Structure 1
Amino acid sequence: MWSVRTIIDAWDAFELWLTQLPFLFQVVFVTVVVLPLCAGVAIGLDRVTERFDRAPDGRDRGIRADARRAR
């Protein structure tokens, strides 16, 4: 099993590696890795919360249902 200390040490090593990269490579890393990862998490959370936005009888409730009714 991994200990918390092992995880912290690994994160520290990664953080040190990333901060020592030239700025251009940091920007590329964020653009290629971090932004798509954040977008994936946001889309996943949106889909999960949308499932909980349905009433037990299957009707939509909440903001999206109100927006559909307003059209």
Structure 2
Amino acid sequence: MVDAFAQWWDGVELWLAQLAFPFQFALLMCVLLPLSLGVARLIDRLVDNASTRFNPVPKVGPAGDADQPREVDAGKPS
């Protein structure tokens, strides 16, 4: 099985190496760019999940008077 995969990969590599540069570049952008974006999103989600697991956001209880911001009136003299 590994030998069959190696032969297939050699064929793909040979085919890609024989293409003209603009076609190589276009194929690379069509394959590598979405793949890289997907891997970046996966890493981002894994890091977000790990950071929330190890450093959870404290739960806020019911808002009291101390939690309310002070009302500021810019027109009133102090």
Same fold, TM-score > 0.5, yes or no: yes
Cα shift readout 1:30-58 (whole Å, capped 9, x = no counterpart):
11111111111111121122111123573
Give the unaligned 5+ runs of structure 1. Answer: 61-71
Give the unaligned 5+ runs of structure 2. Answer: 59-78
- The number of equivalent residue pairs is 58
The separation in 2 between residues aligned to 1:42 and 1:50, in whole angstroms, is: 12
State the TM-score, normalized to the length of structure 1.
Answer: 0.67
Q: CA RMSD in A?
A: 2.0
Larger Rg: 2
C-alpha change, 1:29 and 1:57, in structure 2 (3 Å) is closer
Q: Sequence identity, in percent?
A: 36
Greater helix fraction, Structure 1 or Structure 2 = 1
State the TM-score, normalized to the length of structure 2.
Answer: 0.62
